[in-house]
Amino acid sequence: MASVEKIIEFRDVSKSFGELQVLRNLDLHVNAGEKLALIGPSGSGKTTILRILMTLEDIDTGHVLIDQDYLWHQQVEGKLQPASDKHLHKMRENVGMVFQQFNLFPHLTAIGNIQQPQMLVQGKDKADAQAKGMDLLKMVGLEEKRDHYPHQLSGGQQQRVAIARALALEPKIMLFDEVTSALDPELVDEVLNVLRMLASDTDTTMLTVTHEMNFAREFADRVLFFDKGQIVEAGEPKEIFSRPQEPRTQDFLKKYIAGIA
């Protein structure tokens, strides 16, 4: 954690969907190994940040860098040009993502879901991919479910397999997009426990969009409060949650405590 190397940089990034501007001149630095929680009302742009990093959305203006390299641009003869598919493919190696709706491949078993990307993307042979897959299934407590198809698993179990699948490719940056929002309340903790364990055990940089404030408080090194496409307030969890400075943050947290947000 001593490293101060910037692994993610947003420089003056803006993004609109039609009329709706979801990011306004955003500047953001993330240090390698940092655990970040992104909170704020729906539609505030926090999920868009993850989707831009995963190359699921492009940007309108500004620059995004991962590990000192442009994500949506590339240098061609000294000039910055829009990134080619090849460049994006290379950059994606750095990033893994877990989705709100899990998005496991329904035609593959739990182990198959973890095994296939390693074989296709990293060219591993089946035995290696399977060994790594079993280690990860053990880690998320699902080794006995290895041959179950997604529809035979609970939502919480599916999400744990999805986390294992993303981890198997060993990305430097892991993105978690409201990973418990689609779960029944009693299944939330089994997923959050995996994230807690990852946060304390790995050097992986982690960005989490979440509505679970208690979780954000213990998980994150830094909390960013978003509203209307901008970072309104950022700081250590105890500052943000105990002494929020900005009225919008205070308002949001008040509503959250009242159970509205």
Partner 1 sequence: MDSIIEYSPILIKGTITTIQLTLASAVLALTISFIVGLARFSRHRSVRAAAICYLEFFRGTSAIVQMFFMYYVLPLMGVHFSPLTAGILACGCNLGSYGSEVVRGAIQSVSRGQHEAALALNYTTYQRYRYVLIPQAIPVMIPTFSNLLIELMKLTAVASLITISDLTFMAQIIRVQTALTLEPFLVILVIYFIIATLLVQFTKLVERKFSKGRQVVSDGGR
Residues of the shown chain interacting with partner 1 in the complex, contacts defined by CB under 8 A: 54-56, 89, 92-93, 95-97, 99, 101-107, 109, 116-117, 120-121, 149-151, 153-155, 158-159, 165-166, 169, 182-184
Taking CA 239 as the corner, what is the angle to CA 177 and CA 2, rounded to the nearest 5 degrees? Answer: 70
3-state percent breakdown (helix, strand, coil) of the chain, nearest 5: 40, 25, 35
CB nearer to partner 1: pick between 7 and 174: 174
DSSP SS3 for 96: strand
Q: What does the alpha-carbon distance between residue 148 and residue 158 come to, in Å, rounded to a whole number? A: 10
What tokens appear for 45 in the block? Answer: 């742009």
Closest CA to 155 of 185, 119, 122: 185
From 146, 152, 138, 140, select the one nearest 113 (Cα to Cα).
146
- Residue 103 or 202 having the CB closest to partner 1: 103
| Rounded distance between C-alpha atoms, residue 179 and residue 188, angstroms | 9
Taking the complex as a whole, the smallest distance from the CB of residue 131 to partner 1 amounts, in Å, to 19
Nearer to partner 1, 163 or 232 (CB): 163
Least distance from partner 1 to the Cβ atom of residue 37, Å: 20
| Comparison of 192 and 253: residue with beta carbon closer to partner 1 | 192
Nearer to partner 1, 89 or 138 (CB): 89
Query: In angstroms, rounded to a whole number, what is the distance separating the alpha carbons of residues 131 and 136?
Result: 9
3-state secondary structure of 112: helix
Min dist. Cβ of residue 184 to partner 1 (A): 7
Q: Shortest distance, CB of residue 20 to partner 1, whole angstroms?
A: 19
Shortest gap between Cβ of 257 and partner 1 (angstroms)? Answer: 27
Minimum CB–partner distance for residue 10 and partner 1 (Å):
19
Report, in Å, the least distance between residue 163 CB and partner 1: 13
Question: Which is closer to partner 1, CB of 4 or CB of 105?
Answer: 105
Identity of the residue, 93 or 239, whose beta carbon is nearer to partner 1 in the bound complex: 93
Q: How far is CA 123 from CA 110, 120, 231, in A?
A: 19, 5, 40
Contacts of 82 (CB under 8 A, 6+ apart): 72, 73, 74
**Using CA atoms, how far apart are residues 167 and 114, in angstroms rounded to an integer?**
9
